[in-house]
Amino acid sequence: MLRFLDGMAIFNQGTLATVKLVVCVYKRQRLSALLQRLHAAHLQQPARVNRSELHRLDRRISLLYRNAVYATILSCAVMPIVPMAWARWQGTAYEPLTPLDFDFWLDMHRPRYYWPVYVWGVCGTSSVALTVIALDSLFSWLLLSSVAQFAALKLKLRTLQCNFSQLPRCVAMHKACQNNCDELNDIYAEILLVQYTLSFIQLCCALYRFNNAGWSSDLPFRICFLVVVFAQVCAYCLAGDYLKQESASVATVIYECFDWSTLPPGRRRLLALMMLRAQQPVQLSGYLFNIDRPLLLWVLKTTSSFLAMLRTLDR
């Protein structure tokens, strides 16, 4: 059971990285066009938009995610060597350890078999980890740039006052923000579906393996891997919930920033339509579910349920 769960967790992460890469390559033209639009809009933002405040949570999660991925790669490369080097220095017998605990049907005591397997394990883990970092960082930049566009729109509405000549531009800006978010959702829908379909399986396998394996040389690798998967799930859910809140808050800003009793009827109708559109917030989805905080709670509850089932089967 433990060896099966080891292979399942690593296989799921490799599958997830492959799906992300294939989808991004397949939709590269739409992704490139979205990048250019968001970058052009980013350059036109006013200097008063507090970008550091917008990206504070993203920086914390990304820093944890990056360090956990690098620690996973380092532990994968170092931990198999340390026990063998110590045993050889003590002059005692030792069992050759590989970065990934699989049965390779080879005599690992022979260097001509061991070192190719060792290099393959380290390079395979590194390639999957770095691919996931690159694609998740791209998604994070796209999503936080979309959040920044809503923040710039709210700032523009607050400074609009009675200068209604800029109102049509605000309406066009709001429509462009929502269209960009819809395009982002269309590009990443398949990735989000696979991400959260496999995430609770990865967490369940990693937690069960960590709870039942005891101390071994690959324990640091499993701890780092568990942190990586958890940070991956949290980053998508918290960022999607942040975008939902920012897009919905546009309606509140419109209502608070104008004296509705003195507005001309034409401007009042235009703002009312804009409020109605903002009251349906932008929502990232993976076809079957929305990416927000309730989804994170669902993943954790489902993981605990599957973990309890595995422990019952084990008993």
Residue 42 has a pLDDT of 77
Q: How many Å apart are CA 126 and CA 266, to the nearest integer?
A: 59
How many C-beta atoms surround the C-beta of residue 47 within 10 A?
A: 5
Q: How many Å apart are CA 67 and CA 243, to the nearest integer?
A: 25
Angle of CA points 147, 149, 151, to nearest 5°: 75
Residue 26 has a pLDDT of 93
Q: How many Å apart are CA 153 and CA 269, to the nearest integer?
A: 19
Residue ranges of the chain with per-residue pLDDT less than 50: none
DSSP-based three-state secondary structure for 290: strand
Q: Would you list the domain boundaries of the chain?
A: 2-62+124-314
Whether 78 and 224 have beta carbons less than 8 Å apart is answered as no
**CA max distance for the chain:** 90
Residue 52 has a pLDDT of 52
Distances (CA, A) of 85 to 50, 59, 72, 96: 52, 38, 20, 10
What is the token pair recorded at 15? 């599958």
Q: How many Å apart are CA 157 and CA 254, to the nearest integer?
A: 7
Classify residue 181 as left (phi > 0), alpha (psi -120 to 50) or beta: alpha
Whether 136 and 79 have beta carbons less than 8 Å apart is answered as no
Q: How many Å apart are CA 314 and CA 296, to the nearest integer?
A: 27
Phi/psi of residue 290, nearest 5 degrees: -95, 145
| CA 106 to chain centroid | 37
Q: How many Å apart are CA 222 and CA 227, to the nearest integer?
A: 9
Angle of CA points 43, 48, 50, to nearest 5°: 90
Q: How many Å apart are CA 199 and CA 209, to the nearest integer?
A: 15
Whether 275 and 173 have beta carbons less than 8 Å apart is answered as no
- Nearest one of 263, 256, 235 to 136, comparing CA atoms: 235
Residue 161 has a pLDDT of 63
How far apart, in Å, do the first and last CA atoms of the chain sit? 12
How many C-beta atoms surround the C-beta of residue 25 within 10 A?
A: 9
